[in-house]
Amino acid sequence: MRRVAVVGVGSSKFGRRDDSNLSELAFESVKPAMDDAGVDGKDIGFVSVGTVGTWYEEPLPAVAVAEYAGLNPAGLVRCEAACASGSAAFKVAFQSVASGESEVAMAIGVEKMTEIDMPTTIELIGRAGNYLWEFENIGMTFAGYYALYASAHMARYGTTEEHLAQVAVKNHKYGAMNPYAHFQSEITLQQALDSPFVAWPLRLYNCCPVSDGSATVIVASEQAAKKLTDTPIWVKSVGTASDTSNLSKRPDYLGLRATIQAAKQAYEKAAVSPTDIDVAEVHDCFTIAEILAYEDLGFCEKGTGGRLVEDEETYIGGRIPVNLDGGLKAKGHPLGATGCMMIAEVTRQLRGEAGKRQAPIKNGLGLAHNVGGTGHYCYVTILGRQ
């Protein structure tokens, strides 16, 4: 396997994007990524497009996106891994280069979720577990799934509603500094605690928005990367894991087994430990998910994730800065785009290009953690400057 580096990243504005169709939205991140890498369509040997679909009109989204972006005749595939579709696309692009199949490859994550009404969106996302048992018979929603995790964590470890709200306050703080974010305003702890319940104990400000958006990552072989950029960001490892469709088959709701396993793989492959990571992007579709990620990724002991954010250890200047782009909570969560956007943000952090959101980089290592569904898929990617 060859060494592979990220050489270009690009992002669209996240939010309600009634001004563009799917292909136009994807191109908003493809063009700056190509400019960043100093390449054009003819240089791209393989393209993977991460998207869930069903929200928009294109039945073959990868085909439409590649044609519009001028990427033909590069090899092309669509990847679906629920909310981790962008990370799945990145892994396929990475493998294309690592295997020697291509010198330069592109991963595009894109989703346009606001073209359908909210009740339909809630139903489609609520089907993300086991359809017949959990949705059809019980009527679970996606917020309901994570409410199970939140209430179990509160009961076992004493995690509080204030801890959940503190994650939202932090992520809105950094989202307000991010020009790509869906929400660009700070909130107070009291605002978060006064917002209405969606699924107890999760309130409105504990939930990410429904968003449109795209992000693109370009990777290259070591030989090509050294010609394209003076600041290659190396792919140290990608860990992957999965878990049962039916949540009733899992032993508890105190963490995500897929995260624990994917992280173990990623740390071992990269020969690093959680304490070596300078900055992280974690999957915070609900604020409890960020707290679980702290623990499952090894950033703190089990049951202490709430105290980690309470003590501001996940802020800039803390032990492990997390979601400095606003996370899914404030930046937004266009499902297919999220994984690529995480990798783009970690790349910018490691390059020292994050401006007011820049974390101190001591070890030259960053981590992106992307969950699909309620732990049905998980990808943990470690990037490094050396």
Sign, CA dihedral 98-29-171-174, equals: positive
Secondary-structure breakdown of the chain: helix, strand, coil percentages, each rounded to the nearest 5: 45, 20, 35
Average of pLDDT values for 115-135? Answer: 78
Q: Catalytic residue, from 333, 340, 369, 376: name it.
A: 333
Mean pLDDT of the chain: 96
Domains and CATH numbers, the chain: 4-116+210-228 (3.40.47.10)
Question: Is pTM beyond 0.95 here?
Answer: yes
What is the pLDDT, as a whole number, of residue 213? 98
Helix axes 61-69, 22-37, angle to 10 degrees: 50
Task: Tell me which residue has tokens 């703190």.
Answer: 300
Count CB neighbours of 119 within 10 A.
Answer: 8
DSSP code for 381: E
Give the residue among 360, 377, 371, 376 at the shortest CA–CA distance from 134: 376
Distance CA 4, CA 1 (A): 9
83 is catalytic: yes
**What residues are paired with 50 via a beta bridge?**
79, 109
Burial-class residue 120 by CB neighbours within 10 Å (0-12, 13-18, 19+).
Answer: exposed
Q: Which residues of 270-288 are buried (b: 16+ CB within 10 A; e: fewer)?
A: bebeeebbbbbbbbbbbbb
Contact 162, 193 (CB under 8 A): yes
Contact 108, 31 (CB under 8 A): no
pLDDT surpasses 80 at 126: no
What is the pLDDT, as a whole number, of residue 55? 87
Q: What is the pLDDT of residues 135-152, one digit of tens each?
A: 666 667 889 999 999 999
Residue 109 amino acid letter: G
Q: What is the pLDDT of residues 61-117, one digit of tens each?
A: 999 999 999 999 999 999 999 999 999 999 999 999 999 999 999 999 999 999 988
What is the pLDDT, as a whole number, of residue 141? 84
Q: What is the pLDDT of residues 274-314, one digit of tens each?
A: 999 999 999 999 999 999 999 999 999 999 999 999 999 99
Cite the DSSP H helix spans in the chain: 22-37, 61-69, 85-98, 118-126, 142-157, 161-175, 189-194, 222-228, 257-270, 287-296, 305-310, 327-331, 338-351
Give the list of residues 6+ apart from residue 280 with CB closer than 8 angstroms, or none: 297, 299, 320, 321, 322, 323, 346, 366, 367, 368, 369
Give the residue among 209, 211, 206, 160 at the shortest CA–CA distance from 187: 206
Q: What percent of the chain has pLDDT over 90?
A: 90
Average of pLDDT values for 129-133? Answer: 70
What torsion do the CA atoms of 308, 259, 125, 286 make, to the nearest 10 degrees?
Answer: 0
Helix axes 85-98, 338-351, angle to 10 degrees: 60
Burial-class residue 17 by CB neighbours within 10 Å (0-12, 13-18, 19+).
Answer: buried
Sign, CA dihedral 68-124-368-327, equals: positive
